[in-house]
Amino acid sequence: MRILVTGGAGFIGSHLCESLLDDGHTVVALDNLITGSTDNIAHLAGRDDFSFIRHDVTEYIYLQGELDFIFHLASPASPADYLAFPIQTLKVGALGTHKVLGLALEKKAGILLASTSEVYGDPLVHPQPESYWGNVNPVGPRGVYDEAKRFAEAMVFAYHRTHGVDTRVARIFNTYGPRMRADDGRVVPAFICQALRGEDLTIFGDGTQTRSFCYVSDTVRGLISLMNSGFHEPVNIGNPEEMTIVSFARLIQREIGGGVGIRFEPLPLDDPKVRRPDISRAREILGWEPTVSLEQGLVPTIDFFRRVAGR
């Protein structure tokens, strides 16, 4: 197939492009490089089956030739990024999704929206199934991302019901791995980079809040499985193994060493206290579940940040 990946120069997007190429598809990556980087796809340059277009999806998208499928990943995705680019985040969720859906309709292509666990907000149901409608503060600082993705999901379903567009929705939970940015504000690169610099690890709140961490190859495999499924309802893609932030900090201390300590800072507004996907639907519909343990995934992730930091 010929496949378009918006946000294709981003962390997950670049790994997805790579995997699709390995599967024999032709891939067009599109990215405005606000948070993505051509460094992530430099190793793909020069291939006949890969091309890159620098473009903002909130503007009209012109793509010559046939197109079979679109993965719509374009969006700031970390708290540091969507707090720095709040209006751009809202625009890509609304206008960008509208433009990409219009392209899918024009090309008669299928489309997968990369949504997020943030649509559940600070959840009152745990773990979070796809049937849960969420607990979101629309006017809080995180609302720009939460509501952008919730609107994007509504737009996807409107195009599916009104125009018969072949749609998918993946709600992606915390994903980690090589090519994350050191400064993106998420806990995995934050802790690893602090430990490599010999700094104490910064925990916001008391550290009892929980997260689940899915290695990027598992997330990408889930997205491709969803593309191939023909299933239209939202599907959680994430690792159901949950751990506290304090436990994760202890793990990074053990993996990297250096005798670094832990310091505590106030918890940001609306920061979720629990985060764990119910992946029953993914198991049943896709036959998918994560296979890479956190300890296994941290090895190449730490190696990547060592190379970046020159340590």
pLDDT band for position 34 (50/70/90)?
very high
State pLDDT tens for residues 284-301: 999 999 999 999 999 999
Residue 87 has pLDDT above 70, yes or no: yes
Q: Residue 74 has what pLDDT?
A: 98
- At residue 105, does pLDDT exceed 60? yes
Residue 91 has pLDDT above 80, yes or no: yes
298, 150 contact by CB (below 8 A):
no
Above 70 in pLDDT, residue 310?
no
* pLDDT at residue 280 in the model: 98
How much of the chain, in percent, has pLDDT values that exceed 90? Answer: 93
pTM for the predicted model, two decimal places: 0.95
Residue 80 has pLDDT above 70, yes or no: yes
Residues 6+ apart with CB under 8 A from 284: none
Confidence band, pLDDT 50/70/90 cuts, at residue 311: low
Give the mean pLDDT of 22-42.
98
Query: Exposed, middle or buried, 133 (CB in 10 Å: 0-12/13-18/19+)?
Result: exposed
Q: How many residues would you count in the chain?
A: 311
C-alpha span between 248 and 212 (Å, rounded): 10
**Which helix (H) or strand (E) element contains residue 88?**
helix 86-91
Give the DSSP per-residue string, 152-209: HHHHHHHHHHHH---EEEEEE--EE-TT--TTS--HHHHHHHHHHTTPPEEEESSS--
For residue 58, pLDDT over 90 is answered with: yes
β-pair partners for 171: 115, 236
Tens digits of residue pLDDT in 180-204 = 999 888 999 999 999 999 999 999 9
E strand or H helix that includes residue 214 = strand 214-215
From CA 16, how far away is CA 278, in angstroms rounded?
23
Query: In the prediction, which pLDDT does 271 show?
Result: 77
**Per annotation, catalytic residue among 82, 120, 145, 159:** 145
Does residue 145 have an active-site annotation? yes
The per-residue pLDDT for 192 is 96
Q: What local confidence, expressed as pLDDT, does residue 258 receive?
A: 78
Q: Domains in the chain and their CATH numbers?
A: 2-177+214-239+277-291 (3.40.50.720), 187-209+242-276+296-309 (3.90.25.10)
pLDDT at 63 over 80: yes
Output the pLDDT for position 300.
98
Write phi, then psi, for 167 (nearest 5 degrees). -110, 155
